[in-house]
Amino acid sequence: MLLKGKTAVISGAASARGIGRATARLFAEHGARVAILDLDGAGAAQAAAELGPDHAGLACDVADPASCRQAAERAIAALGQVDILINNAGISQPMKTMEIGPEDWRRIVDVNMTGVLLLSQAFIPHMRERRQGSIACMSSVSAQRGGGIFGGPHYSAAKAGVLGLAKAMARELGPDGIRVNSVTPGLIQTDITGGKLTDEMRADILKGIPLNRLGDTIDVARIYLFLASDLSSYVTGAVIDVNGGMLIH
Ligand code: NAD
């Protein structure tokens, strides 16, 4: 029980086979009360109900500041306090540079990068007041190796931005007792690829993974658990790879 008595907010945790959902389950198993925030409000409520009566599911668009503020107020009211924020929500698009239109760019950057800022801003005053908190942010191996897995260059740019943002927040918020870290997964088997990952692409990707398998959502959930818990009490500004060795650097 690594999170006994703790409370956690996880964004993008409604989708049934997603990383956020697996994280919510693992955190609950470790004793945390969880608030699931997702664009899919009904899905969030259902996911929370599946965890049990102590958990909450709330609609939230991480790309919208007012929606983040409102969800934060509700999450704090539902949980009493918030110890952990997992900035997990994200979307992807397999596109090449010349195919990216202004709206594609905006949406990918807004959800994947700006969303991390907006949701963090909604919880930082509360964490500062309590002089404690752990924030973990979802980046991607795409940020480190320049894409080439599934998401396009705009996804790669947004996820690279998350790394800079999280490191800068770690530096700024450390004196307030708030830790901020990032995770950089390789290809994890979820629905984010929207059925567009062909068997050929999968076989090609496998050739470059020393552990010889794609990642499972639990592989990432366990790293979020480490970052959320006191096991990582002296870790801030860190980036943890969860990629089976796809990128060793
Ligand atoms: P997923 O599609 O299963 O889950 C993403 C969730 O985010 C969904 O529940 C969706 O409704 C929610 N969401 C989308 N836009 C949102 C918004 N504006 N506000 C709030 N919620 C929103 O995908 P996943 O693979 O579990 O992805 C989770 C995170 O992991 C994403 O940030 C993704 O970029 C990142 N990631 C995934 C992989 C992978 O291979 N699956 C690899 C590296 C990083």
Which pLDDT score is estimated for 195? 82
Query: Quick one: pLDDT band at residue 34, thresholds 50, 70, 90?
Result: very high
* 3-class secondary structure, 133: strand
155 is catalytic: yes
* CATH code, domain carrying 86: 3.40.50.720
Per-residue pLDDT for 192 more than 90? no
Report whether residue 119 contacts ligand 1, using a CB cutoff of 6 Å.
Answer: no
176 found inside a domain: yes
CB of 220 closer than 6 angstroms to any ligand 1 atom: no
Q: What's the gap in Å between 175 CA and the centre of ligand 1?
A: 30
Residue 74 forms part of a structural domain: yes
In this predicted structure, the answer to whether residue 148 has a pLDDT above a threshold of 80 is no
Cα–ligand 1 centroid distance for 18 (angstroms):
7
- Look at residue 187 and tell me if it is in a domain: yes
75: its two tokens: 């999450």
Is 20 a member of any domain? Answer: yes
CA–CA separation, 23 vs 3, rounded Å? 12
pLDDT of residue 162: 99
Answer yes or no: are the C-beta atoms of 162 and 205 closer than 8 Å: no
Q: What percentage of the chain exceeds 70 in pLDDT?
A: 100
Spatial separation of the C-alpha atoms in residues 28 and 187, rounded to whole Å: 25
For residue 234, how many other CB atoms are within 10 A of its CB? 6
CB 169 within 8 A of CB 236: no
Among candidate residues 165, 84, 163, 67, the one with its CA nearest the CA of residue 123? 84
Q: What total number of domains does the chain contain?
A: 1
Tokens of 2: 């690594």
Torsion of CA 185, 190, 194, 198, to 10 degrees: 80
Q: How confident is the model at residue 175 (pLDDT cuts 50, 70, 90)?
A: very high
Quick one: pLDDT at residue 88? 98
Query: What confidence tens digit (pLDDT) does each residue in 204-230 have?
Result: 999 999 999 999 999 999 999 999 999
Please tell me the distance from the alpha carbon of residue 55 to that of residue 35, in angstroms, as a whole number.
6
Question: What's the whole-model pTM score?
Answer: 0.98
- 246 in any annotated domain: no
Mean pLDDT of the chain: 97
pLDDT tens digits for 109-120? Answer: 999 999 999 999
Q: Is residue 247 part of a domain?
A: no
Q: What is the pLDDT of residue 196?
A: 81
Question: Is residue 154, in this structure, part of any structural domain at all?
Answer: yes
Rounded CA-CA distance 235/237 in Å is 7
Classify residue 84 by its DSSP letter.
E
Nearest-CA residue for ligand 1 atom 33 is: 90
- pLDDT tens readout for residues 88-144: 999 999 999 999 999 999 999 999 999 999 999 999 999 999 999 999 999 999 999
Confidence of residue 193 (pLDDT cuts 50, 70, 90): confident
170 CB within 6 A, ligand 1: no
Structural domain span for residue 185: 7-239
Q: Which of 61, 91, 116 to mutate to test the pocket of ligand 1 (most atoms within 8 A of CB)?
A: 91
Residue 202 above 90 pLDDT?
no
Ligand 1 centre distance from Cα of residue 91 (Å): 5
Confidence of residue 78 (pLDDT cuts 50, 70, 90): very high
pLDDT tens profile 41-65: 999 999 999 999 999 999 999 999 9
Round to whole Å and give the CA distance between 224 and 88: 10
Residue 1, in any domain of the structure: no
- For residues 181-200, give the mean pLDDT: 91
CA distance 33 to 35: 7
- Number of the ligand 1 atom closest to the C-alpha atom of 61: 19
For 88-108, the DSSP string reads ---------GGG--HHHHHHH
